[in-house]
Amino acid sequence: MIQVRRLMAAALATSALRLGLAIGLVFGCGLAAGAQQGGLMAHDLSGFALDMTVDQVASVANRPLTPTGTGQYQVMIDGIDYSFGFSSAGHLFRIDSRQQLVPFPVDAAFAADLTRRLTRKFGQPMSNQLPAGPVVWMYQESYVGAKGEKLTRETESLTVLVAGGTTEPVTVEMQMIAPRIERRDAQTAPAAAK
């Protein structure tokens, strides 16, 4: 994984590769074996997978994480700033990534290529407003409320937003969140995040 990141960082020197390889950094891992019914096909960003422990995330990062608050950690790897949220039982339920790139045209061709890559890894998005807005995956489940009412709640989501363009640095922001993990762990005895 580190070797792939180094190769991609070196390739950013050319504008033709800048577009594809910068995106490749975030999508570094392969596809999941199959789509989870009613959810994302893959549950990771750059090898950081939902439900990992703090120690597992630090192992993938190949460096210690910086605590930023209760259950919150941050790490910078190859120019990508990652922020993680862990449940009360110490399981990863939120992954944020932010990567700033050099200026380049964020146009329809870029949007089509990014959408193709995202769809290949995560499945068909629910909404796509690229290049001017976010691309979003959101999954919900039905459940019965305390008074017997039928309700829905989010199980997991992914949002990708690209900002900037030809005259200013391009920023790619991604957020993967799984409230189902946070809910599950809230029902179990709290454990220290390790």
In a domain, 71, yes or no: yes
Identify the CA nearest to 93 among candidates 183, 186, 182: 182
CA distances from 21 to 127, 169, 179 (A): 24, 16, 30
Q: How does DSSP classify residue 19?
A: H
CA dist., res. 112 & res. 179, Å (int): 29
User: Could you give the number of structural domains in the chain?
Assistant: 1
Q: Looking at the predicted structure, is the pLDDT value of residue 85 above 90? A: yes
Q: Looking at the predicted structure, is the pLDDT value of residue 18 above 60? A: no
Quote the pLDDT of residue 93.
97
In a domain, 81, yes or no: yes
Mean of the pLDDT values across residues 121-134?
A: 94
Q: In this predicted structure, which of 7-21, 50-64, 68-82, 176-190 has the lowest mean pLDDT?
A: 7-21
123 three-state secondary structure: coil
Q: Looking at the predicted structure, is the pLDDT value of residue 13 above 70? A: no
* Model pTM score: 0.78
In a domain, 68, yes or no: yes
Q: In percent, how much of the chain has pLDDT > 70? A: 77
Quote the pLDDT of residue 190.
54
Mean of the pLDDT values across residues 176-185?
A: 95
In a domain, 19, yes or no: yes
In a domain, 67, yes or no: yes
In a domain, 192, yes or no: no
Q: Is the pLDDT higher at 39 or at 122?
A: 122
Mean pLDDT of the chain, nearest integer: 82
Q: Which residues contact residue 144 at a Cβ distance below 8 angstroms, ignoring those fewer than 6 apart?
A: 150, 151
Mean of the pLDDT values across residues 17-40?
A: 43
In a domain, 110, yes or no: yes
Quote the pLDDT of residue 98.
97
Structural domain boundaries enclosing 73:
2-31+39-186
**Tokens in use for 103?**
């200026």
CA dist., res. 107 & res. 137, Å (int): 21
Mean of the pLDDT values across residues 83-96?
A: 97
